[in-house]
Amino acid sequence: MKKILLIFSQYRVGERIFPTIPRLSNRYNLDCLLVYQMKSTHRWVGNEDLRNHFHKNYKDFFNTITEDRNRLDYKSYDLIISDDNRHSTKTKLWEIYDNRKSNMIGCYHGAGERWNNKQFFEKTQGRVYDYTFVMGQDDCKKNYCIPIGIPSNDNLKNMKMNPKHILLIVNFLGNITSVIGNQPFPVTFDKKLVNNIDLVELQKIHKLTFIIKLKSRDGEGKNQIKNNSDYIKSIMPDVDYNIVVDTNDLDNLIVDSKLIISAPSTLAYKPIQLGIPTILIEGSGQIGNFGMFKGLVKNDKEKIKDKINNMLDDSKDEVFIDTVIEGGSKFESTDVFMKRVEELI
């Protein structure tokens, strides 16, 4: 059997291809190198260390899992796949790239335009990868870009939708400037956005609890869970809500949603593929391919209200899915991934 090395640097990035590991192990001998945030020495800042789930679910599929990059002979692998395609001092992928003999693949970091443009690819190809896996055909800006969709979303196909809540997916809260010294995007989850969404009226109509999904971030410090919870409490009206930060059950969080209001986020592709009514707030994250999505709306109260009603009436966007998520409309991205690996090894 041929040998493949998988390199994982961040849980939120690597989880998109984690489900391919069992199928890869049926055909290839696998080793795993953990770097950056996936290393045990890196302090997890959220409320649940999701790396434990990775080890529990996938450790038995590898011959070797190591955090010591000097332990491995990179020339012995027939293919190397990294969960990220950025040239970064945090991962130092060039050290591996410069010592390999086979093809090395870097997977897309995210869906934003920052990492999916010709200039980015030209600066990173030949330095940390030979080919880069991208999400869909629209991201194929160079001939070494290969679309593979989102393999982790394939599991949604067999899940039953059971609307229990309205999900609010947050990129940055309104307190972010006081935490990191700047505001990355013009729109944050703050008092203005909360008022424009009109949570009181939404809850009155649908009679469902709000779930607020936050990200845990290294840059926001060790007290971020409490600080962010306090901030949300200060801006929320008198509605029922719960806060979720780290969870290994994202799929159920999605399928249990009647409506999703989100910043542009890779997570938002899950409900879009399922046809769950999804509204994306323009200006709260990198737009990327979402510029083509019919659920994108400006931070304006009347426009948000109209968009919610429109998406509740007609939520499926097949053209968008086929354009931006390879294998997405039929939940076949894992099959696509396996085929691309076979072609490159």
Q: Identify whether residues 37 and 65 lie together within a single domain.
A: yes
Query: Number of folded domains in the chain?
Result: 2
Beta carbons of 280 and 264 less than 8 angstroms apart: yes
Residue 258 CB: number of other CB atoms within 10 A?
16
| pLDDT per residue as tens digits for the range 141-164 | 999 999 999 999 999 999 999 999
pLDDT band at 25 (very low <50, low <70, confident <90, very high): very high
What is the 8-class DSSP label of residue 129? B
Average pLDDT on 85-102 reads: 97
- Alpha-carbon radius of gyration of the chain: 20
- Which pLDDT belongs to residue 238? 97
Domain of residue 140, residue span? 3-150+331-344
Question: Residue 234 sits in a domain of what CATH number?
Answer: 3.40.50.2000
- Which pLDDT belongs to residue 283? 96
Q: What percent of the chain has pLDDT over 90?
A: 91
Q: How far apart are CA 280 and CA 297, in angstroms?
A: 6
Beta carbons of 307 and 297 less than 8 angstroms apart: yes
Q: Identify whether residues 128 and 52 lie together within a single domain.
A: yes
Q: Identify whether residues 146 and 278 lie together within a single domain.
A: no
- Which pLDDT belongs to residue 179? 65
Q: How far apart are CA 197 and CA 231, in angstroms?
A: 17
Looking at every residue in the chain, the average pLDDT score rounds to: 95
Question: Residue 337 sits in a domain of what CATH number?
Answer: 3.40.50
Beta carbons of 331 and 156 less than 8 angstroms apart: yes
Q: Identify whether residues 310 and 340 lie together within a single domain.
A: no
- Which pLDDT belongs to residue 281? 98
Q: What percent of the chain has pLDDT over 70?
A: 99
Closest CA to 228 of 216, 240, 218: 216
Q: Identify whether residues 174 and 199 lie together within a single domain.
A: yes
Residue 48 CB: number of other CB atoms within 10 A?
14
| pLDDT per residue as tens digits for the range 306-345 | 999 999 999 899 999 999 999 999 999 999 999 999 999 9
Q: How far apart are CA 308 and CA 202, in angstroms?
A: 10
Element (H, E) at 34: strand 29-34
Two structure tokens written together for 228: 């962010």
| pLDDT per residue as tens digits for the range 167-210 | 999 999 999 886 677 889 999 999 999 999 999 999 999 999 99
Q: Identify whether residues 195 and 247 lie together within a single domain.
A: yes
Q: Identify whether residues 110 and 184 lie together within a single domain.
A: no
Q: Identify whether residues 103 and 199 lie together within a single domain.
A: no
Q: Give the N- to C-terminal CA distance of the chain in Å, as an integer.
A: 11
Q: Which residue has the higher pLDDT, 179 or 227?
A: 227
| pLDDT per residue as tens digits for the range 253-272 | 999 999 999 999 999 999 99
Q: Identify whether residues 128 and 161 lie together within a single domain.
A: no
Q: Identify whether residues 162 and 306 lie together within a single domain.
A: yes
- Flag whether pLDDT at 300 surpasses 90: yes
Average pLDDT on 131-146 reads: 96
Two structure tokens written together for 11: 């849980």
Q: Identify whether residues 106 and 230 lie together within a single domain.
A: no
What is the 8-class DSSP label of residue 285? S
- Which pLDDT belongs to residue 133? 98
